[in-house]
Structure 1
Amino acid sequence: MNFKNKDTYFSDLLAGRGRPLVIAGPCSAESEQQVMETAEALKKLNVHLFRAGIWKPRSRPNTFEGIGLLGLEWLGRVKRELGMRVTTEVATGRHVEEALKQGIDVLWIGARTTVNPFAVQEIADALRGVQVPVMVKNPVNPDLALWIGAIERIYQSGITDLAAIHRGFSSYQPSKYRNLPVWQIPIELKAHFQGLPVIVDPSHIGGTRELIHPLSQRALDMGYDGVMIETHPNPAEALSDPEQQVTPAALAEILDKLQVRKTNYDDAELVSRAEELRLQIDAADHDIITALAKRMALVEQIGEYKKQNNVQVLQLERWKEIFRTRADWATEAGINPIFVEELYKLIHVESIRKQTIIMQTGNPELQPDTKPEQAS
């Protein structure tokens, strides 16, 4: 699946753009007045797509779960009277049918739906024979395969006008974010599907309006194609997610501050200098690989020593010492210690895997899987 150079709804919107694709509107459609007031304000900002949730999958019952079919009529009014394109979330085949009856321009599949292949397939089946753009949010948990699978299911139903929405991933660890960005996953998705538009949802990643601009800018700096920002005329009174919604006036300020970077160097001297630096990076990477190979050779030697002396592979105190000192060394060298901690977790996993194989040599039934990511 290659989305490069395809004549699609999203490619038309992005062609020759001087700013990102902008999708904005309330988290939930709450009243006809609220929807129309927001849409009228966003039309003045030249927002590409007006968004509003009609059906809201909530974690617990007895909370606002969306206005339902009545909200589709309000979106229809936005489209007819203001000439704006509209989009909403669908989670079932029936949702798809009702949205299409009302002429909704673009559908999106939410994070809680993407995580369920049965639900995605039901939506895909409802879309057969229909030509409508579809956006697919990442699953709740950091699972690239599920995200890819959801896009493939929709594509195989005949929908080729697709985009992905990065809204972050749930995590138990403390964070300033509502949902961790885990930027590596959408980067891998972009590499897997060449040319697939990727849109950031900073409202759900950040969980607070203060983080919307920095998250949006970071995404654009990495080549994202657009932003989806929840916008409400009075966020404090919103029936869902009040902390992460902004007023139309605040949205205007955010969009005004965003910078769209060039996709490539446009000067021969800059190209030459970049190539020179890339060659130096290649040489540094070669040195890193050589150093890692030397380290792993030493790991194998100590693994043999442990086997000969009947000593267990995992030496917890030694691991704590490595984990602590390497982070300190990183700080002294001006490198992010958190990055180095994550790097050494991977190195440690591979070291344990190698030593475990050495310990179990001669007993095929005990041979561990050779994939590093399977080790623990």
Structure 2
Amino acid sequence: MIVVMQAGSEEQLIDAVLERLEEHNLRGHLVRGEERTVIGVVGAAIPPTLKEELAHFTGVQETLRITQPYKLVSRELRTQDTVVDVRGIKVGAGNCVVIAGPCSVESEEQIMKTAHAVREAGATMLRGGAFKPRSSPYTFRGMGETGLQLLAQAREETGLPIVTEVMTPNDVDLVTRYADVLQIGARNMQNYQLLEEVGRTGMPVLLKRGLSATIEEWLLSAEYVAAQGNPNVILCERGIRTFETATRNTLDLNAVALAKRRTHLPVLVDPSHGTGKWYLVPNLTLAGIAAGADGIIIEVHPDPDRARSDGAQSLSCENFAALMPKIVAVVNAVGRKM
């Protein structure tokens, strides 16, 4: 349910509505606009009489039912796009960000070389995995805290904010000491304990869509983070598993356009995992931006042939530098800004 307050309603009137919600074991999430405040009502069971109760409160203009199962991330609650601030970089609302870096941190030389190269080419954030979920238990699974320390060192040298994955609730405290954006990988999209834990941090969260997740399931996972009082959620379409075997996954650009209609959250595209083939990444990058994505997250490695993970889908530093002017051209063509 949405409670729309009248323009200029005083805080005591808003507080009165929040107190009544608490009496029903409900929570009210405030969305403050330029002219009026909207209260999103969430809880296990909203009494059928609540609409009539609140209609009598001074300052309440109207109450509306939210039809989507996800409430806080729905455009029915908030029509204005959410902008997530990452160390001064704005994600959403017409801004296009480029997040680039290796699948996993492998050494100091590798991450520093990559960080400086992507920064020089125009990237706005650095990605890199310190903890890696792998299909096989015998493959490289990351450097752990040492990898996080190297990412922090790269941020110190380049100024690029860090995007890195957190895999378990127990790791959240550790990763938050180093990261600027907490990434939830596709395999963990429905790890609800992890979603609630990162939600409680208040930090920006990049939520990747699951391999076989519907758009509704994806947005409901975002709702888990937002329900903890954390509005700083960035969605990421990274390809879904289909019958096609020619590519690693099928990058679902339908989901980008539809998500932008159904949610106020920013949406990114990951063409590296979406295709699994480096030579397809440039075209799908440009297509993602044209489809309305608020940014791109790309895997870049100084020597992809020797990468310990995902080398086949990683751009070289030179190929990434060649792609950036094309990204800028498409961003400008669709009326957005870097």
When normalised by structure 1's length, the TM-score is 0.64
Does 1:246 find its partner at 2:315? yes
Partner SS, residue 123 of structure 2:
coil
CA distance in 1, matches of 2:288, 2:92: 19
- Provide the aligned length of Structure 1 versus Structure 2: 256
* AA matched with 1:193: T
Match of 1:290 in 2: none
In structure 2, the CA distance between the partners of 1:147 and 1:7, relative to structure 1 (3 Å rule), is: closer
Alpha-carbon shift at residue 256 of structure 1 (Å) = 1.4
Q: How does 1:91-240 map to 2 (within 5 A)?
A: 91-102=167-178, 104-114=179-189, 116=190, 119-128=191-200, 130-171=201-242, 173-194=243-264, 196-240=265-309
Q: CA deviation at 1:15?
A: 7.5
8 Å contact from structure 1 (residues 88, 107) kept in 2: yes
Aligned-pair RMSD on alpha carbons?
A: 2.2
Residues 315-347 of structure 1: per-residue CA shift (max 9 Å, x gap): xxxxxxxxxxxxxxxxxxxxxxxxxxxxxxxxx
- 1:138/1:7 Cα in 2 relative to 1: closer, same or farther (>3 Å)? closer
Deviation at 1:137, TM superposition (A): 0.4
Deviation at 1:38?
0.8
- Between the aligned partners of 1:216 and 1:75, the Cα distance in structure 2 is 24
1:76 equivalent to 2:144? Answer: no
Which amino acid is the alignment partner of residue 13 of structure 1? K
Give 1:164's aligned amino acid.
L
Structure 2 match to 1:269: none
1:64 corresponds in structure 2 to 140
Deviation at 1:65, TM superposition (A): 1.1
Cα–Cα, structure 1 residues 237 and 12, in superposed 2: closer, same or farther, change >3 Å?
closer
**Separation in 1 of the partners of 2:90 and 2:133?**
29
Which structure's residues are more often strand, by fraction?
A: 2
What is the CA deviation profile of residues 215-238 of structure 1, one whole-angstrom value per residue up to 9, with x for unaligned ones?
Answer: 111111111111111000100000
- Give 1:5 shift: 4.6
Contact residue 220 and residue 226 of structure 1 kept, 8 A: yes
Q: Check conservation: 1:232, 1:247, Cα contact below 8 A.
A: yes
1:73 & 1:14 partners in 2: Cα distance? Answer: 25
Asked whether the 8 Å contact 1:105–1:133 carries over to 2, the reply is yes
Deviation (angstroms), 1:126 = 4.7
Instruction: Sort the Cα spacing of 1:40 and 1:263 in 2 relative to 1 into closer, same or farther, 3 A.
Output: closer
Contact 2:198 2:205 in 1 (8 A): no
**Distance in 2, Cα, partners of 1:6 & 1:12:** 13
Looking at structure 2, the residues matched to 33 and 70 of structure 1 have their Cα atoms a distance apart, in angstroms, of 13
**SS across alignment from 2:90:** helix
2:199·2:226 contact (CA, 8 Å) conserved in 1?
A: no
Asked if structure 2 preserves the Cα contact closer than 8 Å seen for 1:97 and 1:126, the reply is no
CA contact (8 A) 2:104 2:130 kept: yes
Give the secondary-structure state (helix, strand or coil) at the position aligned to 1:145: helix
Instruction: Please show how residues 272-283 of structure 1 align to structure 2 within 5 Å.
Output: none
How far off is 1:4 after superposition?
2.3
Match of 1:361 in 2: none
Q: Tell me the distance in 1 between the aligned counterparts of 2:150 and 2:274.
A: 27
Aligned partners of 2:213 and 2:247: how far apart in 1? 15
Contact 1:96/1:123 (CA < 8 Å) preserved in 2? no
Q: Is the 8 A contact 1:142 1:170 kept in 2?
A: no
Please, what TM-score do these two structures have when normalized by structure 2? 0.71
Larger Rg: 1
Q: Structure 1 CA distance, aligned partners of 2:323 and 2:139?
A: 30
What amino acid maps onto 1:21 in structure 2?
Answer: V
List alignment gaps of at least 5 residues for structure 2.
1-72
- Aligned-residue offset at 1:249: 1.4
**Shift of residue 188, structure 1, vs aligned partner:** 2.5
Q: Deviations over 1:245-264 (max 9, x none)?
A: 01111101112123123359
Q: Identity rate of aligned residues, in percent?
A: 32
